[in-house]
Amino acid sequence: MKAKPRMAPQKGFNFDYLMWLFTRLSALAMYLIAIVGVTAALLMSARQNMSVADLMRWAFMPNPNHVANTSIADIEVWKGIFWNVMGILMLFFAGAHGLHGLLNVLEDYISRTWVRNLLRGLVFLVWVLMSAIGVYVILL
């Protein structure tokens, strides 16, 4: 089975290059958000009241639901606009990073231009829809 080669990304300042850069920078941004989350959690008495697994759930997505089942006494400190913003930032970086990665994998197996363009449109729609669902869940 011979697969047709897909179009190689062009050199220069274009969408593919920008997304290449975005993938790397968003990875660093996600590391930063997770570190802020873990540090703040430890300052908010996570060490006595949370397991490592719960701490990681909070680090990946700082949502008060993720600490609801721990022995944290005052959950009000874990809510608020700051954590909403951090959660939405995480959602934005992770969603764009992940769905662009999915597109990258799929495009390795696709050679026809119209299928590729259709797929790009489809993944963009999925990204918009999932972001809307995510923001709704975070702000709930």
Partner 1 sequence: MGLKRNVGLMEGLRYQGKGPMLTYVLHRIGGLGIVTFVGLHMIASFLSNQAWGTGVGLFINTIYESWIFQIFIFFCALFHAINGLRIVILDLWPKLIEYQREAIWIEWCVFLPIYGIALFVIIRSGLGG
Distance CA 122, CA 125 (A): 5
> Which of 28, 35, 43, 125 touches partner 1 (CB under 8 A)?
28
Binding mask 53-92 for partner 1 (x = CB under 8 A): -------x----x---------------------------
Contact between 133 and partner 1 (CB under 8 A)? yes
Distance CA 91, CA 35 (A): 16
Q: How many beta carbons lie within 10 A of that of residue 122, not counting itself?
A: 12
Distance CA 6, CA 131 (A): 29
Q: How far is the CB of 2 from partner 1 (least distance, A)?
A: 5
Cα dihedral value 119, 125, 126, 129, nearest 10: 180
Distance CA 108, CA 5 (A): 8
> Which of 3, 73, 81, 139 touches partner 1 (CB under 8 A)?
3
Q: How far is the CB of 132 from partner 1 (least distance, A)?
A: 10
Q: How far is the CB of 73 from partner 1 (least distance, A)?
A: 24
Q: Specify the residue, 73 or 139, whose C-beta has the smaller distance to partner 1.
A: 139
Q: Specify the residue, 74 or 87, whose C-beta has the smaller distance to partner 1.
A: 87
